Amino acid sequence: MTLLKRFSAAVDGLNDFIGGAIRWLALVMVLVGAFNALARYATRYTDVSLSSNAYLDLQWYMFSLIFLLGAAYGLNHDVHVRVDVVYERLSAKAQAWIDLAGTVLFLLPFSVLFLWVSWPAVRNSWSIQEVSPDPGGLARYPIKAVILVCFVLLILQGLSQVVKQVDVIRGAKTTLGHPDHPEDDHGHGGHL
């Protein structure tokens, strides 16, 4: 296995691990939301406040983690939204060319730009140890740092995708490394 393929496999493994971990956050987020709703309802009858703005912040933070950390996982497993009806009718090689162009011309520059643009806001948030303006809310600076992590993971996954796309263009029989998207008889991978 070449160094680039090992890099690609390591990045895919990292994002698969993160994707597996954040799946559980959806359940926890729903449970926290349900508890907070019931606690607010119960407060009306008990005159004891069981709910907190911290629970609302926690819900938003978990949603943010799912979205931000799940982006690279979604890219790796090709579960992002596609609106091109022509794409799915193309050969695997033609799809790889389109994906390679999109990755190199759009995904990687976009991710680098947003990493650069986000850095000052994250740095400022950490320097002032930003907290929620709501009474009892949570600290905001840790969740803002996840923005940077998101774009680093997207850049790494984008580079991994480039390795796999070049492999397909060179004639390797693969669907960009997705065992859950096997090629059909026409050489097309599964796409949304």
pLDDT one-digit tens code per residue, 35-50: 988 888 888 788 777 7
Report yes or no: 35 and 55 within 8 Å, Cβ to Cβ. yes
What is residue 14's predicted lDDT score, i.e. its pLDDT?
96
Report yes or no: 26 and 63 within 8 Å, Cβ to Cβ. no
Average pLDDT of the chain to the nearest whole number: 86
| Mean pLDDT within 100-111 | 95
| Mean pLDDT within 158-176 | 84
**pLDDT band at 83; cut points 50, 70, 90:** low
Residue 68 pLDDT > 80: yes
**pLDDT band at 114; cut points 50, 70, 90:** very high
Domain ranges of the chain: 3-169
Show Cβ contacts of residue 158 under 8 Å, excluding neighbours closer than 6 positions.
75, 103, 107, 108, 111
What is residue 173's predicted lDDT score, i.e. its pLDDT?
60
| pTM of this structure | 0.80
**pLDDT band at 101; cut points 50, 70, 90:** very high
In this structure, the number of other CB atoms found within 10 A of the CB of residue 184 comes to: 10
**pLDDT band at 85; cut points 50, 70, 90:** confident
Residue 189 pLDDT > 60: no
Rounded Cα distance, 124 and 51, in Å:
30
What is residue 161's predicted lDDT score, i.e. its pLDDT?
96
Max CA distance (Å), the chain:
69
What is residue 174's predicted lDDT score, i.e. its pLDDT?
54
